[in-house]
Amino acid sequence: MMELNAGSIRGIVQDADDLVRNPELSLMLAVLEDAIACYHSRGLGPRDNLTLLRRQALDWLTREDWASPFSFANVCEALSLDLLATRERIMGRVRAQMA
């Protein structure tokens, strides 16, 4: 199974045309891409606290939260992504490196 990164997530979203027509879905995809980048410790600027960003991304990725509209679970559902498979693909590379 291929690892997901911020650049490859767009390729697996089922309804790419919906992203163009639906700003909420576009925002959800941007939130997911940012979390992936933070989890893989790719900061956006020299002042980013990569350790903190990674910890926050890990919390977001692993939290079972269906109440918050922009939770990982709801973002996956809105983008027609399998929650567990997406989580495993995002986190897979880091886990493999730790082994």
pLDDT reported for residue 64: 93
DSSP, residue by residue, 5-71: -TTTGGGT-S-HHHHHH-HHHHHHHHHHHHHHHHHTT--SSTT--HHHHHHHHHHHHH---SSSTTS
State the average pLDDT for the chain: 81
Q: Look up the pTM and report it.
A: 0.76
User: Which regions of the chain are under pLDDT 50?
Assistant: 1, 99
pLDDT reported for residue 1: 47
What is the signed CA dihedral for 87, 80, 6, 12, rounded to 10 degrees?
Answer: 110
**Angle, in degrees to the nearest 10, between helices 83-98 and 50-62:** 140
The whole-angstrom separation of Cα 50 and Cα 44 is 9
